[in-house]
Amino acid sequence: MSRTVQCVKLGKEAEGLDRPPYPGELGQRIFDNVSKEAWAAWMKQQTILINEYRLSVIDPKAREFLEKEMERFFFGDGGTTPEGFTPAEK
């Protein structure tokens, strides 16, 4: 049986992650408070940030930026949307 969490992003009880998705205290906080559905939304947002800002994930400054955005996405004001970004039409 899967575990459930009270998801801070969705504001409802939902299926939790199987393991912490990120190292350290932030990863544990996400594991304890974020659902699989909200994590999938973050993965999409992270991809947008990487592509729009042309980030290299091996660059320590880019990783630091993404970590701060992840924390904002889940526990703050929702994070950054790149200026002028419009989602592709389906």
- Number of residues assigned to the chain: 90
Give me the domains of the chain, ranges plus CATH numbers. 4-75 (1.10.3880.10)
Q: What pLDDT was estimated at residue 32?
A: 97
Q: Indicate whether 1 pLDDT > 60.
A: no
CB neighbour list of residue 33: distance below 8 Å, 6 or more residues apart: 5, 6, 7, 8, 74, 75
For 42, the enclosing helix (H) or strand (E) is helix 36-52
Q: What pTM was computed for the model?
A: 0.87
Q: What pLDDT was estimated at residue 46?
A: 95
Residue 71 per-residue DSSP state: H
